Amino acid sequence: MNTATATPSFDKQGERSDEARVDAAMRSFVREFGVTAALHMESCVRCGMCAEACHFYAASHEPKHTPVYKLELFRRAYFREASPFAPAVRALGLVRKPSVAELERWQELIYDSCTMCGRCTLVCPMGIDIAELVKEARHGMFKAGLIPERLALMDRTAQQWGSPATPAEDLPDILAEVSEQYNVAIPCNLEYADMLVTAAPAELTDHTKALADAAKILNRLGVTWTMHQAGFDASNVGFNNGDLPLQERLTRALIDTAVKIGAKTVLLPECGHAYGAARWEAAKWYGQALPVRIVHMTEFLDEVISTGKIRLRKIGETATFHDPCQIVRRGGLEAAARRVLAALGFQLIELKDHGVAGYCCGGGGGVVSNQRAAPLRHKVFEIKKNQVEATGAKRFVTSCGQCRITLEMGAKHAHWDKKTESLLELVADNLAD
């Protein structure tokens, strides 16, 4: 390869010196080393089970894609700066301080080839939450200004607009257009509502049918709901990038807006990382129980179908289901999705790896937005494609918009004609009178 013209495997933001970048990363790493992280750092026995669980390693078989290797710099930072014997480790030079060149190479490992899906966590015999440690490591990389530029651009846009793709001031016009196109009422900026409904970026651009279908179901139920300019995008790029201040700001925008309008519930879209950021991490910004209920679209559909508030026509075909990692493995909604599929009358044929053990789509954690990672992402797609084809199922369904985008991109690249369908859209299309 001609290194003079090769695309670099790292990006950097700002004009800081190399030393300043390393120091910023190290200070952030040290702040992450609480009791839980320390136990995880001390517990790894290098058994290799996490390697076989990782879809990136399964696709490439490159040692650098093993989860334990992805944590190597984080582990070194722990033993040098925060372990019980850290002063001796530093004094004797037993563990080197990471260099900026190592951090730059590391960017590829924790942003291009890790989706924080948690499959490695699931199989670890020592109970190490590897996905959580990668997320914590990303905090330091963001502080050092060493994240993929595509993600940095989305970060800057979200800071300005409250969304990585849609300015808040455009929301009323977008909703009006979607309302007219699909002939469904979509309330915006109501002063009072029982439910605040949120979206992911694609639902305001390419996948507007999902937004219209959510409105169709909510209107059928007769609930008082609204979308709101002050808090509408649930995707939370700060969560993926490692930008904690932005993560907090975007989370608070949703919850504080709900409180302002008297909403008791925040309904999240079909988006995996939206669920992780808002449902499982929001409370740390408030220091107490949240003043509203956070519910994912899958939970919501399961509840209104199970209680008989809406009835569905039976489709009566075979289907297989892609389990979104953040919603199922790390979110616990495995049974909920399958109850909705059953209510639709599908004969479910499970993938070889499904439920909490399902393989990631390959695009979570910002990887789908990182064009540099596309070749590896396409290799990962082949795993999912082969498993879907092996079922012989007629329909292929998922409950995460980001997974859907990733799978659609993979199908296009592979010239695969299997359509990835939205669970939400299937419910809306089959509402019984």
d(CA 318, CA 323) in angstroms, rounded, equals: 16
d(CA 381, CA 360) in angstroms, rounded, equals: 9
**Two structure tokens written together for 107:** 């960017």
Please tell me the predicted confidence (pLDDT) of residue 123: 95
**Two structure tokens written together for 110:** 């924790």
The count of other CB atoms within 10 Å of the CB of residue 150 is: 17
* 71 contact partners, CB below 8 Å, separation of at least 6: 44, 130, 133, 134, 137
**Together in a domain, 137 and 256:** no
d(CA 21, CA 393) in angstroms, rounded, equals: 50
**Together in a domain, 126 and 166:** no
Residue 181: closest CA among 213, 141, 152: 213
The answer to whether 282 touches 253, Cβ cutoff 8 Å, is: no
Tokens 């905090």, residue located: 139
**Together in a domain, 296 and 329:** no
pLDDT tens readout for residues 276-297: 999 989 998 888 889 999 999 9
Is the pLDDT at 9 greater than 90? The verdict is: no
**Two structure tokens written together for 300:** 């919501």
Place 8 in a pLDDT band, splitting at 50, 70 and 90. low
User: Please, which residues bridge with residue 294 across strands?
Assistant: 266
In what order do the strands lie in the sheet containing 195-197? 225-226, 195-197, 265-268, 293-296
Residue range 300-317: mean pLDDT, rounded: 97
Q: For residue 6, is it within any domain?
A: no
**Together in a domain, 298 and 333:** no
Place 1 in a pLDDT band, splitting at 50, 70 and 90. very low
Where is the domain boundary, 303, 327, 351?
Answer: 303
- pTM (two decimals): 0.93
**Two structure tokens written together for 402:** 């980001």
Residue range 61-78: mean pLDDT, rounded: 91
Where is the domain boundary, 147, 181, 212?
Answer: 147
**Together in a domain, 70 and 201:** no
pLDDT tens readout for residues 71-98: 888 888 989 988 899 999 999 999 998 9
The amino acid at 268: L
DSSP state for residue 415 in the 8-state scheme: T
- Per the model's pLDDT, the better-predicted residue between 302 and 75 turns out to be 302
d(CA 400, CA 300) in angstroms, rounded, equals: 14
The count of C-alpha atoms lying within 13 angstroms of the C-alpha of 17, restricted to the half-sphere facing its C-beta, is 3
Q: How far is CA 84 from CA 33, 75, 330, in A?
A: 12, 13, 31
Domain count, the chain: 3
The amino acid at 171: L
Q: For residue 269, is it within any domain?
A: yes
**Cα dihedral 339, 343, 348, 353 in deg (nearest 10):** -20
Q: What is the CATH number of the domain that holds 379?
A: 3.40.50
The count of other CB atoms within 10 Å of the CB of residue 352 is: 13
Is the pLDDT at 6 greater than 50? The verdict is: no
**Together in a domain, 299 and 319:** no
Is the pLDDT at 40 greater than 90? The verdict is: no
**Together in a domain, 191 and 294:** yes
**Together in a domain, 332 and 280:** no
Tokens 């490692």, residue located: 242
Residue range 377-402: mean pLDDT, rounded: 97
Q: How far is CA 289 from CA 23, 109, 235, 253, 280, in A?
A: 35, 35, 22, 17, 11
The count of other CB atoms within 10 Å of the CB of residue 176 is: 12
DSSP state for residue 419 in the 8-state scheme: P
Q: For residue 30, is it within any domain?
A: yes
The alpha carbon of 42 is separated from its chain's Cα centroid by a whole number of angstroms, namely: 28
Q: For residue 52, is it within any domain?
A: yes
Q: For residue 9, is it within any domain?
A: no
The answer to whether 199 touches 211, Cβ cutoff 8 Å, is: yes
Q: For residue 29, what are the domain limits? A: 18-147
Q: Give DSSP secondary structure letters for 232-272.
A: -B---HHHHHT-HHHHHHHHHHHHHHHHHTT-SEEEE-S-H
pLDDT tens readout for residues 148-207: 999 999 999 999 999 999 999 999 999 999 999 999 999 999 999 999 999 999 999 989
The answer to whether 261 touches 383, Cβ cutoff 8 Å, is: no
Q: For residue 56, is it within any domain?
A: yes
Q: What is the CATH number of the domain that holds 212?
A: 3.40.50.1860
pLDDT tens readout for residues 329-370: 999 999 999 999 999 999 999 999 999 999 999 999 999 999
Where is the domain boundary, 123, 147, 171?
Answer: 147
Q: For residue 40, is it within any domain?
A: yes
Handedness of CA 249, 253, 254, 256 (dihedral sign): positive
**Together in a domain, 166 and 298:** yes
Q: For residue 243, is it within any domain?
A: yes
**Together in a domain, 326 and 225:** no
Q: What is the CATH number of the domain that holds 123?
A: 1.10.1060.10
**Together in a domain, 120 and 193:** no
The count of other CB atoms within 10 Å of the CB of residue 371 is: 12
Angle between helices 374-391 and 401-414 (to 10 degrees): 90
d(CA 58, CA 65) in angstroms, rounded, equals: 9
Max Cα-Cα span within the chain: 75
Average model confidence (pLDDT) across the chain: 93
Tokens 């595509």, residue located: 150
Q: How far is CA 253 from CA 209, 299, 332, 359, 397, in A?
A: 25, 22, 25, 32, 31
**Together in a domain, 268 and 379:** no
